[in-house]
Amino acid sequence: MAMNLNYIDPAYMIRAVPSNASDNVYCTLLTQSAVHGAMAGYTGYVSGLANERQTYIPFYRITEKQNHVVITDMMWARMLSSTNQPSFFSPKDVSDDKENPMSALLNDGNCNGPVDVPPVTKEITK
C-alpha cells in the first residue's frame, strides 16, 4: 500500500479552525491549571485531564513509552468520524487491505483482529 504522507503543523491546524464554546472552556481550564502549578513551584510537567480530573503529568511519564497507532483499527475510524477528518484512503488501498490483513503497520502484536499464523510442527526423530 503506497501512501503519500504530508506533515501539517498542529499549531497551524489549531489556528485555522474557529473555536467553539467547549474549546474555549477547555483552554481556559488548561491555562488556569498550568498557572496554578507554576505558582505552586512545580516544574517539568504538563497540565492535562486524566479520568475527568485536572492533573499535573510529569514529562518523564509522557515520554516513557511510545504508543502505536493502528490506522486500520476501529478506534482510529471513530476518531476520524468524531473529528470529521478524511481518511485519505483510496478505494484501492481499502481493497488491498482486505486482501492482505497483515500490514507492516501492525507490529509488536498490536492487532485487534484474527491473524493467520501457520501451525507449529515438530519433527520427532528416534
Helix (H, G, I), strand (E, B) or coil at 53: strand
- How far out from the chain centre does Cα 34 lie? 24
Name the residue ranges covered by the structural domains of the chain.
27-65, 67-102
Q: What is the pLDDT of residues 50-94, one digit of tens each?
A: 888 889 999 888 888 887 888 888 888 888 888 888 777 766 665
Give rounded-to-5 percent helix, strand, coil for the chain. 40, 10, 50
49 Cβ contact partners less than 8 Å away, ≥ 6 residues apart: 29, 55
Q: State how far the Cα of 80 lies from the Cα of 105, in Å rounded to an integer.
A: 18
Q: For residue range 85-124, list pLDDT tens digits in order.
A: 877 776 666 555 555 555 544 445 444 444 444 444 444 4
How far is residue 74's CA from residue 33's CA, in Å, rounded to a whole number? 33
- Whole-prediction pTM: 0.45
